[in-house]
Chains A and B, each alone.
Chain A
Amino acid sequence: MQMQKLAGNDVLLDVRDLETHFYGEESVTRALGGISFQVRSGETLGVVGESGCGKSVTALSILRLLPKLTARTVGGEIRFHGRDLLKLSPREMRQIRGNRIAMIFQEPMTSLNPVYTVGHQIAEAVQIHTKASRSDAMAKAREMLRLVRIADPERRVNNYPHEMSGGMRQRAMIAMALACSPELLIADEPTTALDVTIQAQILRLIVDLKEHTGTAVMFITHDLGVVAETCQRVIVMYAGRIAEQASVTDLFARPAHPYTQGLMRSVPDRRHGRQRRLPEIPGIVPSLREPIVGCSFAPRCPFAIGICREKTPTLRDIGPGHAAACFRAEEVMGG
């Protein structure tokens, strides 16, 4: 099987102790509090969590696209093929960004330039990163539009973004991202703004293209359903840290972090009956402006004990390929 061959064990991206801070007038927000994970070549890694958990900041930190004046990566390493991206010059970074690591965003309308045709924008990406001529680049643009299954690519290549529907724009974004055959595609909530039947089409497209091209995908989403349908491994983030990391089957079958469990139980699910009260996660997400003592989930956690309020749990192995940042992970998993 092609997929098994591609999802090998060679590490493409190795993130270690990544720390990113945002600077306000009087405060520092610790958006990422030291996270470590790997993306292997050819795999789809899901990054899931709720608003403010740091999943988008992770993507922007990797691509070094953080807002310059207000945010900075203050610690850690981002090794891509062994080279630390944080040590590259802006010029070297530009050769990687959009070329070997590409990104697609939630809102295709704001990430496409409204004054150029879609074909022009795809061709531009090709020309920046290869020595292709203008006409070759346009031919590539047409080929890419066909690959993402846009009907009538010959005509659509000359369309402006506003002449396309939301689903078609997202296809065009994917075409642009994949035009240079990146080794890693970072997709940040790529289907969140789309209708459910269009979402199903785009998810299918991403899965198919990934199998076809062997590109590794880092799939950022808040939707556990999307994770279940597209990813092989998953990272669950909470308050700027990784709470749990597992294969998708292990995560859903044996969630080991109380937050993962709470998240899964709060999604309405017909298997647990209609019209019943949903299990809630009490309380709210902590502010990242003040230093957090102990586990950041402890104030909301039904499993919390003394140690949880004093020491910060680190991510530790609790099974093959399964890690959780919880002192009581074994009990959580068992109960």
Chain B
Amino acid sequence: MNGQLLKVENLTKHYPLGTGFLNKTVPVVRAVEDVSFSVEAGETLCIVGESGCGKSTVARLLMRLVEPTGGRVLIDGTDIAGLKTHELRASRRRMQMVFQDPYSSLNPRLTAGQIITEPVENFERLSRKQRQALAADLLRKVGMRPGMMHRFPSEFSGGQRQRLGIARALALQPSLIIADEAVSALDVSVQAQILNLLLDLQQEMGLAFVFISHDLGVVEHIGHRVAVMYLGRIVELAPCEALFANPVHPYTEALIAAAPVPDPTRVRLEVPVEGEVPSPVNPPSGCAFHPRCPLAVDRCRIEVPPLVPMADGRVVACHVRAPAADTSGRPVAAASSSLTVG
């Protein structure tokens, strides 16, 4: 089955700083600014970016754990913003979340079995027998022994706990799982186990993932499409292979160049980008990346670049590499002037 499972339109979230009781204008943190994307059934969309780029806020907005300042989130065509509490609960059957920290996201006083069957018990009463059968089934799905359902979270390793977090997310048989840095806290050998599990589950159950991560190696490995965020906005959204083979936005390029590669024969020439991410309270005018961008021209300091579709199906927000006038889609090769920083 193909079709848009999730559609996000112009999603925006501003957090006010302080209450503004005495000040007339309250400064706001522009956490997410005008973000749009869609996810198809069975697809993995990755969102990458550095701290403060808004990727975790997007995850929370998708689950409606926080209310958006603007924009829409549509699941199977239904806008979740307008839903009443009980309808929202029903929509969460379609969409579940896996969290980063497998230590703080499991209730230490519940057994593994109780933890993973709890989502279902929110919707229907289970007999003791049904609950045990469900727990056993879920544990098997995530590669654990059913006998483990009576243990408490403290008796499990980090990797096993993350498996429990995934089992809990699977309990309601969702079509979409939002994984916010789900493998970041794990050692690489355990990370490999969990990534394999996610790939297996996707194949078996046709699951879609919104996979949020700062780790480009992991993203390249499991993503179908990748959205790169910088300071609350998507700067490039492209099919995974194309993005890594030929990044168009200078920030994407810098991010890929900055990731350490486990190959000592590779010679790193220069630091890919100088400076640090500016504050989202007072983002730079125009393109937020312009103060760090080696290609920046005057226009970048004034105008926010729109996301422009390119020939190979990607969208890029860059005045230099993807000028807005050129919507017909020019060859990407022409846009690859090299990025060097003095």
Contact = CB atoms under 8 A, between A and B. Distances in A.
The answer to whether A binds B is: yes
Interface of A: 50-51, 165-168, 195-201, 203-204, 222-229, 248-249, 252, 262-264, 266-270, 274-275, 277-281, 284
Most buried by B among A165, A197, A224, A284: A197
A275 B271 contact: no
B72 to A, nearest CB: 30
Given A195-B50, A263-B188, A279-B192, A274 B266 contact: no
A200 B189 contact: no
A196 B217 contact: no
Contact of A196 (B196, B216, B268): B216
B277 interface: yes
A42 B137 CA distance: 57
Given A228-B266, A280-B196, A50 B221 contact: no
Contacts of B216: 196
Given A195-B51, A267-B188, 20 more contacts: A50-B189, A167-B276, A196-B255, A196-B259, A197-B272, A200-B258, A200-B271, A200-B272, A222-B187, A223-B260, A225-B259, A225-B262, A227-B262, A267-B262, A268-B218, A268-B220, A274-B222, A274-B240, A280-B193, A281-B189
Contacts of B200: 277
B199 A229 contact: no
Contact of B221 (A51, A222, A275): A275
A168 B274 CA distance: 12
A50 B195 CA distance: 17
A279 B266 CA distance: 23
Contacts of B214: 195-196
Given A195-B51, A198-B276, A204 B271 contact: yes
Contact of B157 (A167, A198, A224, A284): A284
Contact of A197 (B158, B217, B222, B254): B254
22 contacts: A50-B188, A197-B273, A199-B260, A200-B272, A204-B268, A224-B262, A228-B260, A228-B263, A252-B265, A264-B262, A266-B188, A268-B195, A268-B217, A268-B220, A268-B221, A270-B217, A270-B244, A274-B221, A275-B221, A280-B192, A284-B157, A284-B159
Contacts of B155: none
B261 interface: yes
B260 A229 contact: yes
Contacts of A266: 188-189, 191-192
B261 A225 contact: yes
B264 interface: yes
Nearest to A231: B264
A314 B163 CA distance: 35
B241 interface: yes
Interface of B: 50-51, 157-159, 187-193, 195-196, 199-200, 214, 216-218, 220-222, 240-241, 244, 254-255, 257-266, 268, 271-274, 276-277
Contacts of A229: 260-261, 264, 268
Nearest to A300: B189
A50 B268 CA distance: 25
A157 B159 CA distance: 43
A226 B218 CA distance: 16
Contacts of A284: 157, 159
Contacts of B271: 200-201, 204
A227 B217 CA distance: 16
Nearest to A274: B221
A198 B272 CA distance: 10
Contacts of B277: 195
Contacts of A227: 262
Contact of A278 (B51, B187, B221): B221
Contact of B261 (A198, A203, A228): A228
A77 to B, nearest CB: 30
A222 B191 CA distance: 13
Contact of B187 (A50, A270, A274, A277): A50
Contacts of B189: 50, 262-263, 266, 280-281
B108 to A, nearest CB: 20
B139 to A, nearest CB: 17
A197 B157 contact: no
Contact of A274 (B159, B220, B258, B262): B220
Contacts of A274: 220-222, 240-241
Contact of A269 (B240, B257, B262): B262
Contacts of B195: 268, 278
A248 B264 contact: yes
B273 A269 contact: no
Contacts of B273: 197, 200
A120 B260 CA distance: 34
A197 B255 contact: yes
Tell which of A198, A204, A264 has the most Cβ of chain B within 10 Å. Answer: A198
Contacts of B263: 228, 252
A145 B4 CA distance: 52
Contacts of B274: 201
A168 B275 CA distance: 10
Nearest to B263: A228
Which of A166, A168, A284 counts the most chain B CB atoms within 10 A?
A284
Q: What are the 10 closest A-B residue pairs judged by CB atoms, nearest first?
A: A225-B260, A268-B221, A266-B192, A195-B50, A50-B187, A200-B258, A278-B192, A224-B262, A281-B189, A228-B264
A248 to B, nearest CB: 5
A36 to B, nearest CB: 24
A317 B153 CA distance: 43
